[in-house]
Amino acid sequence: MTAQAQPRRDTAPLTVFSPAKINLYLRIVGKRPDGYHELETLMLPLDFGDEITLQPLDGELRLECDNPSLPTDDSNLALRAAKLLGEDCGGKRGAKIALTKRTPLAAGLGGGSSNAAAVLLGLNNLWGLDADDATLHRLAARLGSDVNFFLGGGAALCRGRGEQIEPAPCKLSASVLLVNPGFGISTKWAYESWAKAAAVSRPTTAPPEVSRLLRALAKDDLATVSQCLFNSLEAPSIRKFPVLELIKESMRNDGASGAMMSGSGATVFGLFADARAAESSAKKVREEFGPSMWTKVTRFVSTVHRQPETRALVK
């Protein structure tokens, strides 16, 4: 990437969809020498997520968010992604980054990583950089484990610490009910809790083979997909937060073919063959567990449309 790349001539804002994800499979293989964990995880993007609007701004990078609970300083991955791209391309570039936050925070839905990927894609366009996929993936790997996945825009099997991406054919038509209990789970705590438990005892049963899950996804075989759900981080989280298991049980009683915690939590998802059953289950969860329960019925998307769209300013 060179400093000679020219920004777009128009000043109309660009909007980029920033999808949420769920992990259908997350197996921790072990600890790496660099301190990260070696993973094997299968992630799918959803047609639900955040929206990011980018607008040129002379010499300044500014992040704004409609959720006051989300920091907008350098601890935010979206702002860090913007600064990293700016440093890599050379020159002093600016932008206003307006984040409309729809996903819960610290929820296991990949919100921060997805926002970072959306900013890389959007600013690459806004600043006229024409950075290739290899460059964007190199920068993504420096930001976080899931950012590379969100650059791809489709289902993928991810290995390493999450940066090694292998696209996965997915025809799954199930509706997905997301339930967040109103609290977050620290990713650091989730992995440390798994490590403590793993040091004391080994699992009594082997995880399902991810190859079986991949075949089921390609065939839209919901029953087999549900049988292959696996998350190494789920057990320690449920021990500390038993309500997660109760939410899973509630969804299964209402017709979910399978239910599991996504990522490091605390969001739990249920897979339903029928969207009306998923909506009905969402209503019952709110009635049973109270108004703190955030629910959303969504679905998988085989390919996320990530091309930034130009929008006229509304005054």
Positions annotated as catalytic residues are: 21, 146
For residue 266, whether the previous peptide bond is cis, meaning omega lies within 30 degrees of 0, is yes
The continuous run of DSSP H or E covering 14 comes out as strand 14-31
Check if the beta carbon of residue 100 is closer than 8 Å to that of residue 51: yes
Cα separations (Å) of 182 from 105, 185, 265? 9, 10, 11
- Is the alpha carbon torsion for 42, 45, 48, 49 positive or negative? positive
> 37 φ, ψ to 5°?
-100, 140
Buried b / exposed e along 33-69 (16+ C-beta atoms within 10 A): eeeebebbbbbbbbebbbbbbbbbeeeebebebeeee
DSSP labels for 82-102?
A: HHHHHHHH-S---EEEEEE--
Residues 6+ apart with CB under 8 A from 202: none
- Is the alpha carbon torsion for 160, 101, 23, 220 positive or negative? negative
3 state DSSP class of 120 = helix
DSSP labels for 33-86?
A: TTSSEEEEEEEEEEEEEEEEEEEE-TT-EEEEES-TTS--STTSHHHHHHHHHH
Strand pairing partners for 99? 52, 65
> 83 φ, ψ to 5°?
-65, -40
